[in-house]
Amino acid sequence: MGNIWEMDFYSRPILDANQKKIWEVLVCESPADISTKTDSLFRYAQYCPNTQVNSGWLRTALQEAITKAGETPIKIRFFRRQMNNMITKACQDLGIPAQPSRRTLVLNQWLEQRIEQVYPQEPGYQAGTNPSVRLEKPLPQRLPDALEGQQWIFVSLPAADLLEMPEWEISFGEAFPLELAQISPETRIPGILIFSSRALPLAAWMSGLELAFMRFDTSEGARLLLETGVTESWIVANIKNPQTLAEAKGFEEAKQKANGVHFIGVQSDPKAQSFTGFWLLQEVNLL
């Protein structure tokens, strides 16, 4: 299996000599698992003149990134929906699938670092002129009947225990290095275990989505929602039991204390010794 890349192509808070915003493409490698060292991940950055913002320029930049990396990614994730057509076209011309996704954790942290440390040092920097992303509020959908879990529970693990993930038997899943979240090994990481006699198709279906994060929502009753892609949302459960409601609130509170980190596990039953699916997730604000 090859590497997955994360990409952003957008204007930056920097003006050129004609008082036009300079654009920039950022490309970085997604971590393969929890043991990945972030400083070893491939990164590529290049500014783009305002007059050359098009899929052709982006395609050329991506080809240069591929040449420097020495490999072609199996897919590229991006979170700016307003750039969907241009990014998709450039990626298609190179034969690479482009995937709208909120699972761009390395890219988001890199962008944050550049906003704070790099752009202010550039000639023409204009503080506060680059709007942040405004995503549409998704309308939650029901999970397909055949994929609903028969049972689920809230659980938690110390962050240190998750470091053993590479040794676990997992059929489908994805993780990221906890150094990205800047949490201590003692931090309790909340999670949800879903049990189903159809665990394999459920985990396979979930692996085909761009899993973003799980959240407890009270806007229309009490619901547990799975956020995927850039704007998709799925209703995992409607919560009415007072005890479960308290546990759901506790899950959300623990997630905030863990800097948004949490996990989803899929098993055939509570006695299973392996995971059909296991995903380490983090809810972050996109820049």
CATH number, position 47: 3.30.420.10
What is the residue range of 211's domain? 141-282
Residue 21, pLDDT > 70, answer yes
C-alpha atoms less than 13 angstroms from C-alpha of 141 in its C-beta half-sphere: 10
Residue 129 lies in a domain: no
Residue 133, pLDDT > 70, answer no
Average pLDDT, the chain: 92
If asked whether residues 109 and 190 sit together in one domain, one would say no
If asked whether residues 156 and 80 sit together in one domain, one would say no
If asked whether residues 177 and 256 sit together in one domain, one would say yes
Residue 123, pLDDT > 90, answer yes
If asked whether residues 269 and 145 sit together in one domain, one would say yes
Minimum mean pLDDT range among 82-86, 106-110, 216-220, 252-256 = 216-220
- The token duo for 77 is 């994730």
Query: Which residue type, as a one-letter code, is found at position 109?
Result: Q
If asked whether residues 188 and 275 sit together in one domain, one would say yes
Residue 264 lies in a domain: yes
* Higher pLDDT, residue 32 or 111: 111
Cα 263 from Cα 154, distance rounded (Å): 10
Work out the average pLDDT over 75-92: 96
Residue 117, pLDDT > 70, answer yes
> What is the pLDDT, as a whole number, of residue 176?
94
Residue 132 lies in a domain: no
Residue 260 lies in a domain: yes
> What is the pLDDT, as a whole number, of residue 220?
86
Minimum mean pLDDT range among 53-62, 137-146, 194-203 = 137-146
If asked whether residues 149 and 258 sit together in one domain, one would say yes
If asked whether residues 278 and 146 sit together in one domain, one would say yes
Residue 224 lies in a domain: yes
If asked whether residues 166 and 238 sit together in one domain, one would say yes
pLDDT tens, 134-172?
Answer: 666 768 988 777 666 678 899 999 999 999 999 999 999
Residue 28, pLDDT > 60, answer yes
Residue 136 lies in a domain: no
If asked whether residues 116 and 153 sit together in one domain, one would say no
Residue 238 lies in a domain: yes
Work out the average pLDDT over 55-73: 97
> Could you give the strand order of the β-sheet that contains 261-267, starting from the edge strand earlier in sequence?
151-158, 188-195, 261-267, 275-282, 170-174
Cα 24 from Cα 46, distance rounded (Å): 6
How many domains does the chain divide into? 2
Contact (CB, 8 A) for 129 and 239: no
> What is the pLDDT, as a whole number, of residue 286?
78
Domain boundary residue, one of 70, 89, 121: 121
> What is the pLDDT, as a whole number, of residue 1?
61
pLDDT tens, 270-285?
Answer: 999 999 999 999 999 8
Work out the average pLDDT over 237-266: 95
Q: How far is CA 217 from CA 133, 183, 214, 252, in A?
A: 21, 25, 10, 9
If asked whether residues 168 and 91 sit together in one domain, one would say no
If asked whether residues 115 and 211 sit together in one domain, one would say no
SS (H, E, C) the chain: CCCEEEEEEEEEEEECCCCCEEEEEEEEECCCCCCCCHHHCCEEEEEECHHHCCHHHHHHHHHHHHHHHCCCCCEEEECCHHHHHHHHHHHHHCCCCEEECCCCHHHHHHHHHHHHHCHHHCCCECCCCCCCCCCCCCCCEECCHHHCCCEEEEEEEEHHHHCCHHHCCEEEEECCCHHHCCCCCCCEEEEEEEECCCHHHHHHHHHCCCEEEEEEECECECEEEEEECCCEEEEEEECCCHHHHHHHHHHHHHHHHCCCEEEEEEECCCCCCCEEEEEEEECCCCC
Residue 129, pLDDT > 60, answer no
Residue 130, pLDDT > 60, answer no
- 261 confidence band (pLDDT: 50, 70, 90): very high
> What is the pLDDT, as a whole number, of residue 131?
56
Residue 126 lies in a domain: no
If asked whether residues 8 and 105 sit together in one domain, one would say yes
Cα 225 from Cα 115, distance rounded (Å): 31
